[in-house]
């Protein structure tokens, strides 16, 4: 325990963001950390010369104030102490900047709905926060709960995966959890037909990646099961996580440099969009 000291929860009044707050409180109680809750008023882009501008601004503040009031009610019900902040500006920028200003270790956000397009695009605010923040991000789908007994970890042998591995092991050790780790070989049927030897090499490397994780985890007393699969990575990851009823999926992130890829449908974004459980995106 002790990985996180300060958590920032972004809330907008939606049921998914309220659930994200409840799960953040659950984590904060275990980790003994502080929670700041932020709601953001988007910038007014109308005619500033209108005489009714004061009324418009007040009207724009109401959803923010309502969301924070509801957050306080949730905190009271959970017997938790939170600090609330109402910001104004571009939503993802204010969330990222406040996390930096408050020196938060983790940003918690909700994931709305299960509609195909919502899964595909995650949500522009969430995608941009993930792309621009250097903090870890926990995305909580509606009607799911965070837990650390069954941790599902993805690895591709990169330094980003190494950071995710360290985080997964830390949580597994702290909460008596187990890790299932997968490395996915993403090749087309045409590639397999033309270069079967190359595919075998990729599979061999993937086996090495998961075995490295297993050795590291089990050296610290964490039971670990490994998988190597061929297929579309996000489908393999989310299907296995669902099959094994995982509590959380832990993935690495490419940070700022990966923002363009994130918006173009990266593995991380698709995993978040289709995950049956919360997803922890670990930064380096």
Domain closes at, from 118, 145, 172 = 145
What's the rounded mean pLDDT across residues 279-284?
Answer: 92
Contact 284, 276 (CB under 8 A): no
Residue 215 inside a domain? The answer is yes
Q: Do residue 1 and residue 104 come from a single domain?
A: yes
At 68 the pLDDT is 97
User: What confidence category does residue 268 fall into, taking pLDDT thresholds of 50, 70 and 90?
Assistant: confident
The predicted pLDDT at position 149 comes to: 96
Q: Which of 125-129, 132-136, 189-193 has the highest mean pLDDT?
A: 132-136
Output 42 or 64, whichever has higher pLDDT: 64
pLDDT band, residue 23 (cuts 50/70/90): very high
In terms of domains, do 133 and 231 share one? no
State whether 139 and 3 are in the same domain: yes
Domain match, 99 and 140 both: yes
* Domain assignment present for 284: no
Average pLDDT, the chain: 86
Residues 141 and 215 in one domain: no
**Sign of the C-alpha dihedral computed for residues 226, 227, 232 and 238 taken in this order:** negative
Q: How far is residue 246's CA from residue 248's CA, in Å, rounded to a whole number?
A: 6
Q: How many CB atoms sit inside 10 A of residue 52's CB?
A: 11
For residues 174 and 234, the answer to whether their CB atoms sit within 8 Å is: no
Mean pLDDT of 57-75: 90
Residues 126 and 11 in one domain: yes
Look at residue 188 in the predicted model and tell me its pLDDT: 62
With a cut of 90, say whether residue 53 has pLDDT above it: no
Residue 189 has pLDDT above 80, yes or no: no
Q: How confident is the model at residue 239 (pLDDT cuts 50, 70, 90)?
A: very high
Say whether both 214 and 100 belong to one domain. no
Decide if 125 is inside a domain. yes
Residues 5 and 112 in one domain: yes
What span, in angstroms and rounded, lies between the C-alpha atoms of 280 and 284? 13
User: How many CB atoms lie under 10 A from the CB of residue 58?
Assistant: 11
Structural domain count of the chain:
2
Last residue of some domain: 145, 169, 204? Answer: 145
Tell me, yes or no, whether 8 and 77 share the same domain: yes
Residues 161 and 83 in one domain: no
**Does residue 197 share a domain with residue 127?**
no
> In CATH, what number is assigned to the domain containing residue 210?
3.40.50.620
Query: Do residues 159 and 130 share a domain?
Result: no
Q: What is the pLDDT of residue 79?
A: 94
Instruction: For residue 267, tell me if it sits in a domain.
Output: yes
pLDDT at 119: 46
pLDDT at 120 over 60: no
pLDDT at position 51 over 60: no
Average pLDDT over residues 227-243: 94
On the question of pLDDT at 179 being above 50, the answer is: yes
Domain boundary among 112, 145, 178: 145
Give mean pLDDT, residues 58-68: 88
**By residue range, what is the domain housing residue 259?**
147-279
270: Cβ contacts below 8 Å, ≥ 6 apart: 120, 233, 234
């Amino acid at each position: 325990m002790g990985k996180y000291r300060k958590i920032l929860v972004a809330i907008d009044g939606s049921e998914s963001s309220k659930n994200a707050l409840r799960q953040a409180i659950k984590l904060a109680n275990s980790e003994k950390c502080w929670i700041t809750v932020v709601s953001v008023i988007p910038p007014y882009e109308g005619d500033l010369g209108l005489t009714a501008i004061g009324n418009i601004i007040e009207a724009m503040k109401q959803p923010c104030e309502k969301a924070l009031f509801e957050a306080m009610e949730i905190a009271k019900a959970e017997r938790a102490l939170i600090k609330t902040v109402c910001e104004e500006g571009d939503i993802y920028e204010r969330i990222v900047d406040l996390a930096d200003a408050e020196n938060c270790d983790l940003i918690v956000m909700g994931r709305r709905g299960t509609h195909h397009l919502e899964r595909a695009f995650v949500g522009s605010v969430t995608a941009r926060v993930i792309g621009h923040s250097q903090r870890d991000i926990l995305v909580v789908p509606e009607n799911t709960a965070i837990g650390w007994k069954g941790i599902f970890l993805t690895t591709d042998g990169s330094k980003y995966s190494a950071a995710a591995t360290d985080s997964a092991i830390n949580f597994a050790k702290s909460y008596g959890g187990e890790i299932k780790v997968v490395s996915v070989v993403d090749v087309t049927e045409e590639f397999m037909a033309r270069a079967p030897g190359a595919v075998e090499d990729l599979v061999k490397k993937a086996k090495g990646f998961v075995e490295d994780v297993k050795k590291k985890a089990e050296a610290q007393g964490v039971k670990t099961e490994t998988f190597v699969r061929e297929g579309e990575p996000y489908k393999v990851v989310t299907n296995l996580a669902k099959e094994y009823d995982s509590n959380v999926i832990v993935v690495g992130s490419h940070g700022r440099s990966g923002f363009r890829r994130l918006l173009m449908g990266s593995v991380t974004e698709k995993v978040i969009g289709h995950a049956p459980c919360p997803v922890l995106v670990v930064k380096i």
